[in-house]
Amino acid sequence: MPVDAFLFDKDGTLFDFAATWNGWAASLLETLAQGDQAAKEAMADAISFDLERGAFNPDSLVIAGSNDEVAAALAPYVKNRELSDLTAFLAESASEADIAPAVPLADFLDGLLDRGKVLGVMTNDAEVSARSQLQRAGVLDRFAFVAGCDSGHGAKPDPDPLLAFCKAAGVSPDRTAMVGDSRHDMEAGAAAGMQRIAVLTGMALRTELLPHADIVLPDIGHIPSWLDR
C-alpha cells in the first residue's frame, strides 16, 4: 500500500532518546529532590532511572508513557508541589531539554515533503514541549499536525490521536505510516489501521519491535530507501 503521510513519534524517533533525556532526567531528579537523597532514589526507582549510570532502564514508563503518567509516578515523593503544578513543571522542563536529532531533520523532512508526503507528530509528551523542541530544531513548520498527550485527542497506545491526524490532514489511515520506537507506537498504529515503521533510536530492541511492526529500521533516515523499495 502506498504511503501518503507519515505520523512521527518524537522521543526516540525524531530525537535520539538516550542522548536527549538521560541528562535531563538526572538534573530533574536533583531539582525535585531538593537535597533529599532518599526522595531522589525513590523517584528514580518510580521511573526506572539508574542513578549510577545516569540512564533510563529499558522498562521505564518515561519511554512511552505520557507526561501526566510521569508526573503521577513522581508526585508522592515531591515536596511542596501539587500534581497539577508538577505536571506543568515537567512539561516546561522538557521543553527546554537539550535535544539530539536522530538524523539531520531539516534535510530529511524536506525530502519527504518534496515527495508530496504529509507530515505530523504525535507524542505522549506535552504539546508545549513538542512544539518547543521542534521549533528549536528548526523544523516545526514542516508538520501539518503536532499533538501531545494533553491536546485533547488522548494518548498512545489509543488510536484516537492518530486518527485525529488523519482527519486534520485529510489522509486515509491505511495510506499513513506511524513511525515510532516503542510498542505503544506500533500498537496505536495497528489499532488505527496504519502501516507501522519502527526505529531503533529509542530504548526498545529489534526483537521487541519486530512482531508489531511492518518494518524495523535503524533510524528514520532509512525511510526514503524504504519508500524506493
Average pLDDT for 206-225:
97
Over range 118-145, report the average pLDDT.
96
Rounded average pLDDT over 29-37: 96
Instruction: Give the largest CA-CA distance in the chain.
Output: 55
Here the cell at position 100 is 539530539
Q: DSSP readout, 169-219? A: HT--GGGEEEEESSHHHHHHHHHTT-EEEEESSSS--HHHHGGG-SEEESS
Instruction: Give dist(CA 73, CA 14) in Å, integer.
Output: 25
Q: Which helix (H) or strand (E) holds 82?
A: none
How high is the pLDDT of residue 38?
A: 97
The pLDDT, as a whole number, for residue 169 is 95
Pick from 25-34, 92-101, 181-190: least confident:
92-101
Q: What residue ranges define each of the domains in the chain, with the CATH number in brackets?
A: 5-16+100-227 (3.40.50.1000), 19-95 (no CATH)
**pTM of the entire predicted model:** 0.89
76-88 pLDDT per residue, tens: 999 889 999 999 9
Cβ neighbours, 10 Å, residue 28: 21
